[in-house]
């Protein structure tokens, strides 16, 4: 009897089979939460810490309340950034939002991370290596908008002469795209008297390069300066001021830094490019959460890096800001408040004139 019962029990157990573990889908992974690494490149450009970090952090919190953001800043040091990514990989970070200091130099760390199943969103700058998604702006178009604005400003003044061209560093892949777009607008329309690829987006280096160009060309022969971003424009503006050139010499920029907005209001900078950071940050957060949860990611287009793979990309439109459009762009969107734009006191007359106050 006991033998019969034992056999019956074995048959019953065999029929039931081993218990299957519960399925874990994207919703369960998001409910449980995971770690997302945020790797910003430097402290030179104000946007990274003032806007990108808080926008990305808040966007992730909305999409994945139990996810944890672990943030680092390489402070312009490519070696430090490679070490940071390797540390994230060792710590078991699930997804990383990466803005590379050196897009090519970061590749070995990117590939090591990918080999450990770390998913990477390349943010604002396209890194080399096995990245999973990319979000940024149409950088060639940004350069074209800058170049065209400079041509228009020079023609409006009716002056003939040469320009100085201050591009970004060769380690930033965006720089080559800005440069290509700018040359498409400038070549054949103005004479480029001096051109530099400025290391580290350094305003101090841009000032030194501008002074070198002015010494060689002569301030009287210079009719404008192409500066690829507002930090470079800051250095160029100092050189324009110190050289005795007209303070309203046409000068471009990008990033809509507050100092640049003030220069535009005071007519010492012609324009800047406003890159709406919040939608870019929201795209990065969505991609990072989707990748971490195992969801398929879709972009508005695709890009390719050295891997020659079609990388899903989400591209945001950039906007030209001039003196007449400050109120309806960066102020309207809350990028800068009226109080920030209209202070210090020296800015109040311009604010009143432009209807901002």
pLDDT band at 8 (very low <50, low <70, confident <90, very high): very low
Structure confidence at residue 24 (pLDDT): 77
Mean per-residue pLDDT for 115-129?
Answer: 97
Task: Kindly report the average pLDDT of the chain as a whole number.
Answer: 93
Rounded CA separation 144/182 (Å): 5
- Identify any residues that bridge with 197 across adjacent strands, giving them in sequence order: 167
pLDDT band at 41 (very low <50, low <70, confident <90, very high): very high
DSSP states of 322-355 as a string?
-GGGTIIIIITTTSS-HHHHT-SGGGHHHHHHHT
3-state secondary structure 230-275: HHHHHHHHHHHHHHCCCCCCCECCCCCCHHHHHHHHCCCCCCEEEC
Rounded CA separation 345/233 (Å): 23
Q: Is the pLDDT of residue 12 over 50?
A: no
Structure confidence at residue 2 (pLDDT): 46
pLDDT band at 23 (very low <50, low <70, confident <90, very high): low
Q: What is the largest CA-CA distance in the chain?
A: 112
Computed from CA positions of residues 261, 265, 268, 270, in that sequence, does the dihedral angle turn out positive or negative? positive
Coil, helix or strand at residue 159:
coil
Tens-digit pLDDT profile for residues 298-337: 899 999 998 888 999 999 999 999 999 999 999 999 999 9
Structure confidence at residue 306 (pLDDT): 84
Mean per-residue pLDDT for 191-218?
Answer: 98
Structure confidence at residue 298 (pLDDT): 87
Structure confidence at residue 159 (pLDDT): 87
Q: Give all domains of the chain, ordered by start, each with its CATH number.
A: 32-137+276-316 (3.40.50.2300), 139-275+320-354 (3.40.50.2300)
Mean per-residue pLDDT for 339-345?
Answer: 97
Answer for the pair 318, 148: CB distance below 8 angstroms, yes or no.
Answer: no
CA distances from 149 to 153, 319, 356 (A): 6, 12, 23
Structure confidence at residue 64 (pLDDT): 98
Structure tokens at 239: 């050189």
Answer for the pair 136, 313: CB distance below 8 angstroms, yes or no.
Answer: yes
Query: What pTM value is reported for the model?
Result: 0.86
**Do you find a cis peptide bond into 55, omega within 30 degrees of 0?**
no
């Amino acid at each position: 009897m006991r033998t019969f019962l034992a056999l019956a029990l074995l048959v019953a157990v065999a029929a039931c089979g081993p218990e299957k573990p519960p399925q874990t889908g994207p919703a369960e992974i998001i409910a449980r939460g995971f770690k997302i690494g945020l790797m910003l490149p430097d402290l030179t450009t104000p946007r990274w810490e003032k806007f990108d970090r808080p926008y990305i952090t808040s966007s992730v919190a909305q999409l994945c309340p139990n996810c944890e953001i672990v943030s680092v800043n390489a402070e312009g040091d490519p070696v430090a950034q490679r070490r940071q990514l390797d540390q994230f990989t060792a710590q078991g970070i699930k997804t990383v939002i990466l803005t590379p200091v050196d897009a090519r130099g970061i590749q070995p760390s990117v590939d090591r991370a990918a080999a450990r199943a770390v998913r990477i969103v390349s943010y604002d700058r396209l890194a080399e290596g096995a990245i999973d998604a990319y979000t940024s702006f149409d950088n060639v178009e940004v350069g074209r908008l800058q170049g065209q604005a400079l041509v228009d400003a020079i023609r409006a003044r009716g002056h003939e002469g040469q320009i100085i061209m201050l591009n970004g560093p060769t380690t930033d892949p965006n720089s080559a795209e800005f440069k290509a777009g700018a040359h498409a607008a400038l070549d054949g329309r103005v004479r480029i008297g001096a051109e530099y690829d400025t290391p580290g987006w350094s305003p101090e280096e841009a000032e030194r390069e501008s002074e070198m160009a002015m010494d060689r060309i002569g301030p009287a022969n210079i009719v404008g300066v192409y500066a690829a971003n507002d930090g470079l424009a800051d250095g160029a503006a100092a050189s324009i001021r110190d050289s005795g050139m007209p303070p309203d010499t046409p000068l471009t920029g990008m990033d809509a830094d507050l100092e640049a907005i003030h220069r535009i209001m005071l007519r010492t900078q012609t324009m800047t490019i406003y890159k709406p950071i919040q939608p870019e940050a929201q795209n990065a957060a969505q991609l990072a959460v989707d990748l971490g949860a195992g969801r398929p990611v879709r972009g508005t287009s695709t890009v390719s890096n050295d891997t020659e793979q079609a990388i899903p990309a989400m591209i945001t439109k950039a906007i030209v800001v001039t003196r007449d459009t400050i109120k309806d762009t960066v102020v309207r969107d809350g990028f800068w408040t009226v109080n920030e734009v209209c202070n210090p006191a020296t800015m109040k007359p311009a604010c009143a004139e432009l209807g901002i106050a």
